[in-house]
Amino acid sequence: MMRLHAYLWRAAGFGVTPSQLQRSLRQGYEASVRELVRYAPEAPAPPRLTTLPPGFTLTLAQVAVLITWWLNQMVHTRSPLQEKMTLFWHGHFTSAVFPVLFPAFLANQNDLLRKHATGRFSDLLLGISRDPAMLIFLDGHTNKREHPNENYARELLELFTLGEGHYTEADVKSAARAFTGWGIDWSRGTFLFSPEHHDDGPKRFLGHTGQLGGEEVVKILAHHPRTARYLVDRLFRFFTGVSTPPREVERLAGVYEQHHGVLAPVLEALFLGRAFRATAEPRQAYKSPVELTVGALRSLNGQFRNGPGWQWLERLVAMGQLPWLPPSVAGWAEGKAWLNTSTLLDRVNFAGQLAGAHQSQLSSLVEGATPEQALERLLAAAGLPDVTHSTRAHLARACQQKGPADTLALILASPDYQVR
């Protein structure tokens, strides 16, 4: 049972502390799921640079400040599922520093994802369709009746809702026409609809006909049965690292439809389901670089700092993931794609660097303990009490010979720590 509880907190958040694990075991699994899903929403104030008006573009130093601010929000949040879902949506509705450039736009989009993290999908989909950062990233602000731009419409159908193969080119063209005239009020940095640039002619979209606008397209997509299946499949794979069983897709899609697209009941059903519990052993969801680093710092009550060379950000770049700098509009590849000979070495180097930076804290943690006790304390501190027998045996031998910082570095670099 302990393994399942630890797995839940790592999957739905960024790790588990000894006190969280003990409370979770006392209150029971179902109560722990409810605690995670029915969180108290947080709305952290963004760094000051994001209040600069449009026209003030980002410097590299400002990019570092913005990224560090969000990483530290993940480290210190009291509502880990809200922040985990914000990270999920950031990979789903991807936008990037380039070409967006405006700090306020990026911060406002981050706030939008957090606000609607587990809410009604139709609200989030409409919000992201009107979001200035997204309007820039996928050229929506250039979409006018005279020259329709299909970039956003195509990604909306292929990546955000239905998935490839479930729409036609005619649907893409109709959706693009529906979103014409959607742009940005540059003086305020907000959404602006320009009727003179909107195509209000009749359209046919996924079997619906009429003078459809962007709002109607969003509503059709958010309530489409295929969207329900596409989203729950993505969510299950994100949290577990394995393919979603067909019966689980249907079950979770039914919850989505029953609750009119509100995602909190879907997530509660996902974590309580047998399919999720069955993935607790063996664990197969490889941690992204952000999850890995945030989880480690969260365990040690540390934080990201903008020190000389921004070393933590450099580590994330080397490991293959930095917020707001995705490799493509499809976001980041997941699963085993995170690991290769280069990125694995970077994870090992990160583990050593982090453990070394907390050497005095770790020495205090194990003071007066036997090697066996020291190992248990370090595993608990790292949020890895359910380490496999083979890894535990290897770490036990190391703990006899090495100090606490070196032992923690081995824990953070172990195969067990690379997965949720």
Q: What CA–CA distances, in Å, run from 154 to 110, 197, 267, 268, 320?
A: 22, 20, 27, 31, 26
Query: Would you call the peptide bond into 99 cis, given omega within 30 degrees of 0 as the criterion?
Result: yes
Q: Which amino acid is located at 330 in the chain?
A: A
Q: What CA–CA distances, in Å, run from 40 to 14, 18, 43, 79, 211?
A: 17, 22, 10, 7, 41
Average pLDDT over residues 213-228: 98
What's the pLDDT at 309?
45
> For every residue of 30-82, which 3-state class applies, written as one string?
HHHHHHHHCCCCCCCCCCHHHHCCCCCCCCHHHHHHHHHHHHHHHHHCCCHHH
Q: Report yes or no on 388 lying in a domain.
A: yes
The Cα–Cα gap between 140 and 133 comes to: 10
Please state the pTM of the whole predicted model. Answer: 0.96
Please answer whether residues 224 and 162 qualify as being in contact, where contact means their C-beta atoms are separated by less than 8 angstroms.
yes
Q: Report yes or no on 239 lying in a domain.
A: no
Q: Which residues pair with 296 in a beta bridge?
A: none
Higher per-residue confidence, 288 vs 188? 288
Tracing tokens 């601010």 back to the chain, one arrives at 69
Q: Which domain holds residue 309?
A: 289-418
Q: How many domains does the chain have?
A: 2
Q: Using one digit for the tens of pLDDT, what is the confidence trace for 151-164?
A: 999 999 999 999 99
Q: Which of 177-186, 276-285, 310-319, 392-401 has the lowest mean pLDDT?
A: 310-319
% of the chain exceeding 90 in pLDDT: 85
Q: Using one digit for the tens of pLDDT, what is the confidence trace for 94-132?
A: 999 989 988 889 999 999 999 999 999 999 999 999 999
Q: Report yes or no on 220 lying in a domain.
A: no
Q: Report yes or no on 376 lying in a domain.
A: yes
Q: Report yes or no on 88 lying in a domain.
A: no
Q: Report yes or no on 237 lying in a domain.
A: no
Q: Report yes or no on 226 lying in a domain.
A: no
Q: Report yes or no on 36 lying in a domain.
A: no
